[in-house]
Structure 1
Amino acid sequence: MAVSILIQSNQIKSLIYNQQAQFFIYEANEVSTIIKNESSSEVVNERVRILAQFLNATILIYDRDGDLTTAQKTQHEGHNHVILKKEFLTRVWQGGNIIHAGKVNNYPIDIFLVAVPVIENDKITKAVVIYSPLAPLKQQINSIRQISFWGALLGMGLATILSVFILKTMTRPLLKMEAVAHAIANGEFGKQVPVVTNDEVGKLASSLNNMSLQLKEKIEAIERLDKTRQEFVSNVSHELRTPLTVIQSFSEAILDGLVKEEKVRDFYLKNILEESKRLKRLVDDLLDLKALEAGQTLADMEYVLISKLVMVTSGNFMSLAKEKNIDLNVTIKDKEVTVYGNIDRLKQVMTNLIGNAIAHTQPGGRVEIMEEQKDDRVLISVADNGPGIPPEEIEHIWERFYKVDKSRSRGAGGTGLGLAIARRIVELHGGSITVESAPGQGAVFIVNLPIINNV
């Protein structure tokens, strides 16, 4: 700061001196013009006197020999005019100007002086000297220096305050971001930083917020996946344990000779066979679901006539429906509708839906199957008038091993994977499967598939 003020002070001094010099040189040239244009020395003296009073300065005119011919002065602190030696004016006689600030000979005060040549007929004939006390200029310079000094201090103070304010404004969000980063590092995912600007700091805060949300979503997804895996292992273990327990206990009873009657032994063997079949269905369903979830497309695709698919699949359940005294009705509204798909997988979907409908319908009830076209889609609905599905359980029926009626699952022979498999098959065909149900009013499952004509 001290160096800056010193440099600025010298610049101010040079500027003031230069302005004063240019002003005096201009007025000295005016005197030179008067000398060249006026032949009367009295007129010259009078005009120079008036100019000296106007300038509050002393004007001296020297001839070529260095003799003073005119002296019009103002009283500077009671002193007479300065006496210049001939050597002092050497530069003027050479055609140049003199600018001097300070002491001259034995003159008691510092002065500011300029001298210019008077050129007549291409010859230097006289010298015009104008000077005034240097003190007023020094006072002016000191005043400007003080103003500059205090202005610089004020500017630095304001700059410091502004810098502190800007620094706090910039560091406050950075400190908040640091706190959020520490929270994320400690596992508190999802923490957010308030974004109040659109500058680089604001963009950095937005990026941190996005990263925090993405980490939270990924961690939650991992936790959900881990929970799903745990539930899957638990469900598989449970589903395997039950038939294995039955097979083991019945086999041990037969081998240990505890079953004497042939009728009872046949009952035990029949149960062992049924549980073995149940195990096979469970393993097959697990393998099916794994294959469907791993794949993005289906193999062996062909054009499938939906009306034929519905009639053939529902026909396979006619005897079971009759045995349970259930009215199974099929309605085909559009016989020529085709889709492009895997016929075995589509049969698997229909088999699951129709089988579930019959399993959950009481004797004397009915199951309605209908096929119809809606724009470029074909809808296949399977409706029953069974007990229905509670609203709080509808969103869960597509989960693996989820069973609405836990008490009837084993009797119905289900593995709890059928709807999960059916939904995945339909999705791989570019379709969707939905359900509409209410307790006591049955359920309607609707398969929605895109129509692709066989051209």
Structure 2
Amino acid sequence: MFISFGFVLSLGVALYLGADEMALHFQHSQTAYETFDDYEQLSQEAYRHFKQRMDRLITANPNSETGVESSKQRLQAAIQALRETAVKEPVIGGETWVDKPAELERVAHLTAFLEASEYRFEEVERLRLQGKLANAVQALTKFTEEEIDGKFQPLIDAAIDAEREKAKQAKRELESLVRQSRLTAILASVTAALFSLMSGILLMRRFHRPIQALMKGTDEIASGNLEYRIKLDTRDEFAYLASHFNQMAQELEVQQNKLRESRSVLEQRVAERTLELNLLNEELKRMDKARREFLADISHELRTPITVIRGEAEVTLRGEDRHTEEYKDALQRIVELAMQLGKYVNDLLFLARAETAHLQFEWGKVDLTELVGNAVEDFQVMAEERSLSVAFSGPECPVWVRGDKQRLRQVLFILGENACRYSNPGGHISVALWVQGKEASFSLTDQGIGIPSGDLERIFERHFRSDNAQSSRDEGSGLGLPMAKSITKAHGGRVAVESRENSGSTFTVTLPLLPST
């Protein structure tokens, strides 16, 4: 009995010491995972702080100062937690379980880097405030690539790998103790089979299931299955270890989910910034297109009045012994054309500023007989350069319409200039004015190249020119006829065209008459 008692007592003491040592090694494992968690927390808070600082530098939003200070406080708290964990490393047999100086040195390197990063961010902030945005962006990019990616990330990775290695070491030592405990239990069972076979069996049942559960839990978590939980319904040390093991796995899972969420938010913001850049690029393209169209409008609308002014002046200067009235008439036409030219310039500037195709009109009572007659005189100046003849037929009495005199003159100039440009040398241009019912019409008929039948419906489209027009004349932007149609439509009228290729064209403008009083 004494031998049995002594054996059982010795066995109990051995088992107690083994369990105590196992609990201690499990605490080492727990400490390793806590330190691992602290490094993960530090990494997360550091990148969150870096992101807050970068957002403030990029957006220059003063309201982001609160977020920066908040992230900085959390980062300092994470560093303090890591420093405290490194200081309180447990000891085994009077010796530290890990190389504490190396651990403290690692923490010191991380702390020094984070403190230095604050000075770098402040330097970038000073560059931005000084208006050196390009230098600020360059410094920020260099700091991100060389310091954060090149130094900080390797430090964090090395620290996490070290803590993972400590966890594996704790696992190996724990497994070794489990094997020793199993061997002790087997030997004790064989030795005490004569005295307490049943006690040995119960003891094995008590230890086997919790240890297996702990080993399986350790394997699952080590393999990355953080959703696994150890299920023990006992109230002993193993249940305590299982509870802490489950708590540790839950915290690691939470941190991992937070990292995924942060990555998702970052990717979303990058996508938003990319979309903003694409929209800005499209806006720049649109503005460039508007600028080119504006220059085309200028070249088209200013060419005809300038040509007529030059021709009028040249014809007047070539004549000899002219009467004063003839000079006055020529100068009057030049003045009117100059006013027309100024009107065009104002319109084009208005179109450029407003980015719209709507023109401004000065409405009044206009005599088409006088307007068309004066325009025919201007056509004759342009026609002389191409040896063309111009004839006008119309009523001698006034034909009154409501409209803008300068705009209607612009329509006549567009049609007359096209007739002169696309007529063959020696040809004839007929201009007619007539009244029918409540409408007045004027037409211009040339003997030029004509318009292909397939292009008649498109000649009033902006920038469209038929193939024969392009081969006949290089100049021209396809803006005149669309503008003439817009002006006529604004007067409540319409423009019609009849044409045969190589035979000539007839453009007819119809306007409503003023009601008779």
* TM-score in terms of structure 2 length: 0.33
Going by fraction, where is strand more abundant, 1 or 2? Answer: 1
Specify the structure having the higher radius of gyration (Cα). 1
